[in-house]
Chains A and B, each alone.
Chain A
Amino acid sequence: MFQTAWAAAAQAPASQAPPSPQPSGYAGSDTCVLCHSDQEATLKGSPHAQAANPRSPATLRGCESCHGPGQAHVDDESKGHILKFKSVPAERVSEACLTCHNRGNHAGWEGSVHEARNLSCSTCHSVHHPQSAAHQLVKATETQLCATCHRTQVAKTERAVAHMPVREGKMACTTCHNPHGSLSNEKALRTGSSVAEMCTSCHTEMRGPVLWEHTPVRENCATCHDPHGSSNDRMLVVRQPMLCQRCHIATKHPSSIYDTDEITVKKSNRMFGRSCVNCHSNVHGSNHPSGQFFMR
């Protein structure tokens, strides 16, 4: 008999109990690896082969934890009657994985954007042939994986002003997003219950409430900022003063045209540097009694 990882799991001291006889319909992993030893080898060292983990398939039904009872498959000369993940609909794949992965980060899968678009766990993960160092992804890195579909967002991280520090590798897509869906937030955001709550989970200084509030700040940071990156200072969706002038056209300076002469001839402090924010520096809200216009 082959001494396999699955077999070793069945003998692991974690259970401290003799292996129970196979229930009806199950063939046992030792039988599986008689033909599928190559697949068994790919699991070595992976979470699914953790013999001492009471939640691992290694301590449950081995191969049949995921692929289902295999005795009929063994008995079938055409080798059907087994769950083959590459040839079943997406929801069948996910259903099998969710048997165990139904908590923590995965709890929001049902109803998530990815689930609704008919993706399955195996769209992004490979249990037997992962390409990544962590999380058993089908691509080498998380960014490469997400770029498969979200190329535009990933390309924005290469702009002049990108979100710190994604390009440098200390943040990744999943720092903000949970691709398995979110119980609490929109856009599969990992934290909080709104875009602003997600942003202020790190940028806590902006959270408030403050005495004088700026409406887009309170309601949605993405009204002015593109969190994936932009060509404009502070990741603004459009540079200043044009961005501010989309909402502020009151008499006097908000409704003035700021052309080349304002820069080269007049050197207007409403245009150079950070433009409007040269004076309205507390644009995210002011806690000063004279802060009505965010200048104090």
Chain B
Amino acid sequence: MRIPVLTGALLGALTLGPPALVAAQTPAPEVPLPSLFEPTWRQFQIGGRLSSVAGDPARWQRYEDLRDGLLFTNARHAREWEQTGQLFRVTADNVGWRDQRFSGLFERAGRFKVTGLWDEIPQFYSVDTRTPYAAAGGVLTLDDATQRAIQAGQANLNAYVPQAGQFNLHERRDIGLVTATVAPSPHLDLSASFKTQRHVGELPWGASFGFSNDVEVALPYTSRANDLNVGAEWTNQKNMLRVAYDGSWFQNHEDTLVWDSPLRLDDSTSAPGRGRMSLWPSNQSQTVSVGGFSKFARRTQATGFVSYGVWTNDSPLQPFTINSALSAPTLPRPTTEGNAHVVSTNIGLVSRPLDEWRFSTRLRVYDFDNNTPRASIPQYVSYDTSVNTSLTGGTYVLSHSRTTFTADGTWTGLSPLALGFGYTRNHNGYTFRTYDDTNEDVLSLTADAIGLSWATIRAQFELADRTGAGLNEAQLELIGEQPGMRHYDIANRQRKKFSGQVEFFWREAWSVTATTGLGDDDYDDTTFGLQDTTFRLAGLGIDFQRPNGFGAGGSYNYERYAGHHRSRSASPGDEFTDPLRDWTTDSVERVHYFSVYLTPPRLGRNTEARLSYDYSNARASYVYGIEPGSPLVPPNQLPDAFNKLQELRTEVRHRLNRRLAATFSYTYEPFRVYDFALDPSVVDGIVQPSSLVLGYVYRPYTTHSGIVSLLYFW
């Protein structure tokens, strides 16, 4: 546990206060001032955060910078010129911290609007990961002498332990965004936006030389993505037409990883001294689109959209291997020549020819046409270790298409009850998959009652049947898979789903909500692979609100997800067809989620408080089963994995005068986790029998965090 000390500067700021604040004090107002929890556009908050963390501070912070120190945040300023309709707004949050955020807006209502955003989003993985690797760009090196000693059999992986320095594993995404909209006439909008994202830092990454020599490294990562959008939209009472261009350029500045082998220094024909892999290649996409709608008689509207995009990646291809002792095959071509054309069409028609009837149809066509030339690669280098013969002889160029037709109708003859029915036909086409096509028929029924003063009711039932065509089992056998295996995303499937929700209101103060959901996916024709999945949901929520600001409520949700999967543990030969070698996995995850909140009425004249508590408890089990008389070793079942997150938040705000308020917030957050693959009892050091890792694990934490601050209004 660490308990840092509040800085002297913060204490000074809190006890003395700026002279301007004192001077700004005015007599107490006669009418109640707005709630201190209502955001205003003329305020800032200054204070300090003090936290106690037992356990993993990185997982606690995750996407926020929650270290101790001075805070300047929640700053808002707006100026409005009512006569001209001009508005200027700026915001600043967490200034100076690694999750700082600034935004700005200037608009003349109905004429133009310009906005800007700068947002930094960190991601903290671990503060106590360790690695013996030294990084220089995308090259990770180990101590040569240690590599040589291990190669000579004079040492083992433990020799790296004293060389492994502790470091903070984290990355960050910085986002800058500028948008502009101009309305030169009441019917026309011209818009443009530019977004740039810089992604920098390190992330845990597998860099393997094979099963007996696996490495986990801190992958250096620096990339930038720039997105440009320009568009024009013309609208009148009956029609809309929009044209747009979207361009996106992703540039990976570290698109290659080179890393030393911990087991040897020198290349040989059976093992390399270092490895090299490609990382995400730089790419770009350009898309033009046209969309619009037109309204006709009998409350009928036709909507259309079509876009055409070109995605490219022409990054240089790396050599087959960095291992100088191997005779590497010749590259099929110098660059990727990746190129795909994407056409998307979406046409819809909605009509209400009679008061009580609504009909709609929609046709959606999406075609991803991959024009990347097939690369002939009869041989490749596995793990930079050995030259192997490819089973496929080269790349398989994946394309796919989707055509979805939907027709549905709604009858409101028992208003406010709306009864709906619909039919959807999904047709998907694939290249290089076990099915050439899949077709799915979906029937749906809905019942919704919205607008009653005492209740809202929603219910939906869905029945779907998906069937594949053009089965190609030979393709599975080519790559050593069981011919009876089916990929669950395209396998024949029967689906049943129901979801329902009822919300009751009483005297505009109480609301009670009950929800339920259940569904099954059955893959009856699948011999191997996912056999079925089910889900069950139930929830209950109660809310109470009073006009004086008092509010309280709570909700409970239960979720259960289950799946059943079948496999066969077999080597080529007789085992491959032996059903006694079949095994199954039954996975079940149960989640309990509980949440309460309390918004008490103002305490006295100047004090307000908020309280909330959230509890999420998820537990998953994976149970293996084998056939009676199976030659397989009976499995030693896995322990359940679980994660339990609680969060208690309370905040009290006290108005000192019209311009100044003191705030205190406290957060208690215990997190308990057990993941059998990422538990400290399993990954108990950076050296494992066949691996050199970072020691990145899932660890629990308990935090107490408080913020004391002043909130100033003007």
Contact = CB atoms under 8 A, between A and B. Distances in A.
Given A164-B123, A184-B344, A193-B344, A292 B398 contact: no
Interface in B393-419: 395-396, 398, 400, 402, 404, 408, 410, 412, 415-416, 418
Interface in A91-147: 91, 95, 99, 102-104, 107-108, 110-111, 115-120, 123, 133
A37 interface: no
Nearest to A95: B299
Given A53-B110, A250-B479, A110 B350 contact: yes
A52 B119 contact: no
B372 A186 contact: no
Contacts of A120: 450-451
B643 A231 contact: yes
B683 A218 contact: no
- Most central of B63, B360, B675 by chain A CB within 10 Å: B63
B29 interface: no
Contacts of A278: 206, 208, 214, 216, 691
Nearest to B316: A287
Interface in A232-266: 232-233, 238-240, 242, 245-253, 255-257, 259-261, 263-264, 266
B591 A155 contact: yes
Contacts of A173: none
B151 interface: no
Contacts of B83: 12-13, 51-52
A183 B616 contact: no
Interface stretch (B130-138, B263-271, B373-381): B373-381
Contacts of B432: 215
Contacts of B682: 263-264, 267, 272
B372 A209 contact: yes
Interface stretch (B332-340, B466-474, B653-661): B332-340
A211 B370 CA distance: 11
B577 to A, nearest CB: 12
A257 to B, nearest CB: 5
Contacts of B570: 251, 255
A76 interface: no
Nearest to B673: A160
Contacts of A123: 450
Nearest to A197: B342
Contacts of A273: 206, 216, 677-678, 683, 691, 693, 696
B571 interface: yes
Interface in B169-195: 183, 186, 189
B528 A186 contact: no
Contacts of A56: 109-110
Contacts of B665: none
B480 A250 contact: yes
Contacts of A51: 82-83, 85
Interface stretch (B8-16, B155-163, B484-492): B484-492
Given A51-B82, A107-B242, A117-B458, A158 B616 contact: yes
B289 A245 contact: no
Looking at chain A's contact residues, the main secondary structure is loop
Given A168-B63, A278-B208, A287 B317 contact: yes
A193 B165 CA distance: 46
Interface residues of B, number: 192
A22 interface: no
A275 B457 CA distance: 44
Given A117-B458, A251-B576, A292-B380, A260 B593 contact: no
Contacts of B377: 289, 292
Interface string B298-313: 0101010101000101
Given A231-B620, A246-B488, A281 B277 contact: yes
B277 A119 contact: no
B627 interface: no
Interface in B214-235: 214, 216, 223, 225, 227, 233, 235
Interface string B409-443: 01010011010100000000010110000000000
A289 B320 contact: yes
A286 interface: yes
Nearest to B213: A269
B346 interface: yes
B344 A117 contact: no
Nearest to B575: A251
Interface string B483-512: 001011100000000000101000000000
B528 A209 contact: no
Given A151-B539, A231-B641, A159 B291 contact: no
B332 to A, nearest CB: 7
A277 B678 CA distance: 13
Contacts of A40: none
Interface string A272-296: 1111011111101011111111011
Given A54-B186, A103-B189, 15 more contacts: A47-B109, A52-B82, A52-B109, A117-B420, A119-B448, A120-B450, A165-B64, A215-B398, A215-B487, A233-B675, A256-B569, A263-B638, A274-B677, A287-B338, A296-B278
22 contacts: A95-B299, A107-B291, A149-B501, A159-B618, A168-B99, A183-B242, A194-B344, A194-B402, A208-B281, A209-B313, A213-B396, A233-B678, A239-B620, A247-B488, A253-B211, A263-B638, A267-B689, A274-B204, A281-B277, A288-B278, A288-B317, A289-B317
Interface of A: 12-14, 47, 50-56, 86, 89-91, 95, 99, 102-104, 107-108, 110-111, 115-120, 123, 133, 148-149, 151-152, 155, 158-160, 164-165, 167-168, 170, 183-184, 186, 193-194, 197, 201-202, 204-213, 215-216, 218-220, 223, 231-233, 238-240, 242, 245-253, 255-257, 259-261, 263-264, 266-267, 269-275, 277-282, 284, 286-293, 295-296
